[in-house]
Amino acid sequence: MEALAVRLSHLDSQAEGAIRVVMFFDTLMRRRVDVPALARASAVLAECVAGIRLHGTGRAIRVSSDGRVASAPPGPASTTVPVTLDEEEIGTVWLERPGPPGPLDEMLLDRLAIAAAAVVERYGPARTTMADPALVELVIGSDSDEAGRARALRLLGFHPDLPVRVVAVRSQLPLDQVAALLCLARPVKAAPLADVGVILATTLDPTRIPAGVRAGIGAAESADRSWSEARTALRFTTSRRPVVPYDDLGALALLAQVPQDATRDNADVAAIARLADNPEDLETLDTYCAAGSLRRTADRLHVHHSSVARRLEQIGRALGIELTEPAGLVRARLALTLWQLLDD
């Protein structure tokens, strides 16, 4: 490498500088430095403040060009590069250079980001959110023995004495982003299994789940039962109710055990299926079943209550159910819920 740098120096001074940056970080990695040492060395090399922030710790390290912890307030980053490990962003590195970035700043930060990821992986545990799906399956599998489940939990970073909550997720957002929002504290692990995402955590904040994500949250302390509950709760999610804790279902959870053939053969459910061809009618019925009154339904749909009354009269005739009667409302709610569970 040194001989190559000498030869390149006769051709391109910037190429020589780039090679020397690579050699600099290769030397640091051979010496097995830690994250603070990486920040110090990078700041000295860059001759300006260098910073490293790892999302898992939430702590930022800023070092000035003299190798000491930067005491001045953080300035705007002149160049920033993400730190990635296993295709997941686990942190950020940056330089706070007054004026425009230097010609080698981007290369320096690229090498710093690679080095930081290697240090995290080496000295870990690596605080990545995405986990080995095989380990996650071992944790939530109903046929796993307790010894194997406990070992998998330890490998994933969970304390054996703390119960693990399980969340079943369907989302267009990356699973690691959903998990990080759902559980600010560590550890939290996630993995895709077939068409459902699995999130394991000891603490959860369901209010932080972003829009467009559907999530069922298990309640049991045992991970395998919690997973079964989470999958059941996920089936009850709708656009109106995207997050469903299993505990909130109560006796409704029993509806998930009704065979789908029996559900399809039910006259009320078949009538709901025909109604689904008209999205406005379906939305009106769904809102009415949730609100329980004409005026609350009108408020939620932003229409006059007389319009809701006319719609519900027409829907009731189509279903063969008197929706304004308590018994009819119960029938409609059950039929709508069973229809929503079909093929889910």
- Which candidate, 178, 154, 185, places its Cα nearest to that of 58? 185
What are the CB-based long-range contacts (under 8 Å, 24+) for 235-241? 235/341, 235/344, 236/337, 236/340, 236/341, 237/170, 238/286, 238/340, 240/286, 240/287, 240/290, 241/290
Distance in angstroms (rounded) separating the CA atoms of residues 22 and 108? 8
Q: Where are the beta strands (DSSP E) in the chain?
A: 49-54, 59-63, 79-85, 88-96, 165-170, 188-193, 196-201, 214-217, 243-245
Q: Which two tokens stand for residue 107?
A: 């290369």
Digit-by-digit pLDDT tens for the chain (344 residues) are: 444 344 434 445 667 778 888 889 988 888 888 889 999 999 999 999 999 988 766 678 999 999 999 988 888 889 899 998 867 788 899 999 998 888 899 999 999 999 998 888 776 545 678 888 998 999 999 888 888 888 888 888 887 778 899 999 999 888 988 998 888 766 889 999 988 999 999 888 999 998 999 999 999 989 999 999 999 999 999 988 999 999 999 999 999 999 999 999 999 999 999 999 999 999 999 999 999 888 999 999 999 989 989 999 999 999 999 998 999 999 999 999 999 999 76
Domains 2-123 and 258-341 share a fold: no
* Domain 258-341 CATH assignment equals 1.10.3720.10: no
Predicted local distance difference test score (pLDDT) of residue 56: 65
Predicted local distance difference test score (pLDDT) of residue 33: 86
Q: Are 21 and 107 in contact (CB under 8 A)?
A: yes
Predicted local distance difference test score (pLDDT) of residue 121: 74
Domain ranges of the chain: 2-123, 133-248, 258-341
Please give the radius of gyration of the chain, using alpha carbons only, rounded to the nearest integer.
Answer: 28
**SS3 for 39-84, per residue?**
HHHHHHHHCCEEEEEECCCCEEEEECCCCCECCCCCCCCCEEEEEE
267-275 vs 305-319: helix axis angle to the nearest 10?
Answer: 130
Predicted local distance difference test score (pLDDT) of residue 58: 65
**Three-class secondary structure of residue 92 per DSSP:** strand
What burial class does residue 272 get, using C-beta atoms within 10 Å of its C-beta: 0-12 exposed, 13-18 middle, 19+ buried? buried
- Which candidate, 287, 139, 125, 121, places its Cα nearest to that of 201? 139
Q: 2-123: which CATH architecture?
A: 2-Layer Sandwich (3.30)
Q: Rounded to two decimals, what is the model's pTM?
A: 0.67
